[in-house]
């Protein structure tokens, strides 16, 4: 999203699940229940410990494969799915299910080998070699499991800090190959599919549904968006050291339905940018024929954006996110921003100012920065303060140099005494966002009035 590639994480202001969200969750649980029912109805006898352990291994494999498909669906960039659940929950589910999926697949292998070993009264090592070397498509399955393991390892926080976004993205693309290898193994050797034409048909249908949604969400919709809107880089503006704004022009942009505070996945068709799409928020309220993002130099990709040339084609997917004024039930607002979160807050403040006359505006902005030179878009905020009545406070200085944290409980109460009666929008680095939300909770601001967005790599 704006000024950094974000990771949406669950936070203190997570809203209550909507009806559509509950429907999606029930549908996913029903799918898992159908998998268990298919396994339960298998007529194979379960006499003896070996057969029971093998059956448990089969179930682990079926559920693991199902969760792999759910993982792919979660990240298929389907607008209807995101609208129903919310991008923050989708990414949280995706992360949460990742480890469990790999564990189920590993349990599948271990339990199957152990079950065969008990049934044949042979050692585990020799049984494992026999399964690997003689059973259909086992080499493919092993390769697929190894690929899943690599994806899981590179998704950990420690690995993510050492990998560029491009390297992480390339590794994650191998998950598609892993899915194909596992699918071949399932149909060739799966006891629930060999000799069970109904099960095979349903399994094919499930995989085809996910494949179609992936192709539609990741390929067809972005291409259609390009032909409909013809997005092009108009100009690149340096806002402050290491921070640039990219203006994009296009046709019929109202049809995108983008709102201030939302983000899109941007793919710039230029060398070094072509193979990956990065999430950046709008940093200005959507205008007729133009959109803007503001990006901070946080890595190779974001630094290279400063060198984009006017006329560069842009493919945008989305919009995504619910960090919008539509979430607010009040006309009295408080915006708190810092670092990478200033872009979407800037867009929200502008949209609010455009909504009505100055004397009806009751909004406060607290802008946290370590140094005056880090106050990107300051001139625009000063303009909104003069022309629309937005009250802006710049909280500048490193914490080690200040008497107290300018976003502490006491500081917030001094700066905004009526904070409990305001809807609060918080956006910035994860540490700042977490601390501010905690302070607001201590000030007894109702959870329904808290709206936040975190910025960190997923």
pLDDT tens for each residue of 419-442 = 999 999 998 888 888 889 999 999
From the candidate CATH numbers 1.10.8.60, 2.40.30.10, 3.40.50.12780, 1.10.10.10, the one assigned to the domain spanning 229-320: 2.40.30.10
pLDDT tens for each residue of 179-190 = 888 888 888 888
Which residues make beta-bridge pairs with 365?
A: 335, 392
Which strand ranges, in their side-by-side order, compose the sheet holding 243-249? 232-240, 243-249, 290-296
Give the DSSP per-residue string, 238-262. Answer: EEETTEEEEEEE-SSGGGG---TT-
Which residues make beta-bridge pairs with 392?
A: 365
Euclidean distance between CA atoms 454 and 438, whole angstroms: 14
Domain with CATH 3.40.50.80 in the chain: 325-454
In this predicted structure, the answer to whether residue 397 has a pLDDT above a threshold of 50 is: yes
Question: For 9, how many CA atoms within 13 A lie in the half-sphere containing its CB?
Answer: 17
306 contacts 238 by C-beta, under 8 angstroms: yes
- Model confidence band, residue 458 (pLDDT cutoffs 50, 70, 90): very low
Range with the poorest average pLDDT among 352-356, 388-392, 404-408? 352-356
Euclidean distance between CA atoms 374 and 396, whole angstroms: 9
What architecture (CATH level 2) is domain 325-454?
Answer: 3-Layer(aba) Sandwich (3.40)
Query: What mean pLDDT is reported for the chain?
Result: 83
pLDDT tens for each residue of 259-316 = 998 898 899 988 877 777 788 899 998 888 899 999 887 655 667 788 889 999 999 8
**Residue with more model confidence, 96 or 325:** 325
pLDDT tens for each residue of 87-110 = 767 777 777 788 888 889 889 888
- Model confidence band, residue 456 (pLDDT cutoffs 50, 70, 90): very low
**Residue with more model confidence, 96 or 380:** 380
- What pTM was computed for the model? 0.75
pLDDT at 299: 59
Domain with CATH 2.40.30.10 in the chain: 229-320
**Two tokens at 322?**
């619910």
């Amino acid at each position: 999203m704006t000024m950094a590639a974000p990771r949406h994480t669950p936070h203190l202001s997570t809203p209550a699940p909507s009806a559509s969200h509950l429907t999606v969750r029930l549908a996913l649980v029903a799918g898992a229940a159908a998998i268990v029912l298919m396994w339960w109805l298998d007529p194979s006898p379960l006499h003896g410990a070996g057969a029971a352990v093998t059956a448990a291994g089969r179930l682990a494999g079926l559920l693991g494969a199902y969760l792999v498909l759910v993982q792919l669906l979660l990240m298929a960039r389907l607008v209807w799915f995101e609208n129903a659940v919310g991008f923050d929950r989708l990414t949280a589910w995706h992360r949460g299910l990742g480890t469990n999926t790999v564990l189920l697949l590993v349990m599948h292998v271990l339990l199957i080998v152990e079950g065969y070993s008990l049934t044949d009264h042979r050692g585990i090592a020799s049984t494992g070699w026999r399964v690997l070397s003689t059973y259909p498509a086992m080499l493919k399955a092993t390769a697929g499991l190894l690929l899943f393991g690599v994806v899981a390892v590179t998704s950990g926080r420690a690995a993510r800090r050492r990998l560029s976004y491009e390297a992480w993205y390339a590794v994650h693309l191998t998950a598609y190959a892993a899915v194909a290898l596992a699918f071949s193994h399932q149909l060739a050797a799966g006891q629930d599919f060999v000799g069970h034409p109904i099960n095979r048909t349903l399994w094919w249908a499930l995989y085809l549904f996910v494949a179609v949604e992936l192709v539609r969400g990741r390929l067809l919709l972005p291409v259609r968006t390009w032909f409909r809107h013809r997005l092009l880089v108009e100009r690149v503006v340096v806002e402050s050291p290491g921070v640039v704004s990219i203006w994009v022009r296009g046709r019929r942009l109202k049809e995108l339905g983008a709102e201030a505070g939302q983000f899109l996945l941007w793919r710039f068709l230029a060398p070094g940018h072509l193979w990956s799409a990065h999430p950046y928020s709008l940093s200005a309220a959507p205008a007729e024929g133009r959109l803007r993002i503001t990006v901070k130099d946080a890595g190779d990709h974001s630094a290279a954006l400063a060198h984009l040339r006017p006329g560069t084609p842009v493919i945008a997917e989305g919009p995504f996110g619910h960090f919008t004024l539509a979430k607010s039930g009040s006309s009295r607002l408080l915006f708190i921003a810092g670092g990478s979160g200033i872009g979407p807050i800037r867009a929200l403040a502008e949209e609010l100012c455009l909504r009505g006359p100055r004397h009806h505006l009751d909004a406060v902005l607290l802008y946290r920065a370590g140094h005056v030179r880090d106050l990107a878009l300051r001139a625009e905020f000063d303009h909104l303060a003069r022309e629309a009545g937005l009250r802006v406070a710049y909280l500048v200085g490193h914490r080690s140099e200040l008497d107290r944290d300018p976003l502490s409980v006491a500081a917030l109460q001094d700066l905004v005494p009526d904070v409990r009666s305001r809807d609060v929008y918080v956006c910035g680095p994860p540490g700042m966002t977490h601390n501010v939300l905690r302070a607001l909770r201590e000030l007894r601001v109702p959870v329904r009035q808290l709206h936040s967005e975190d910025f960190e790599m997923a």
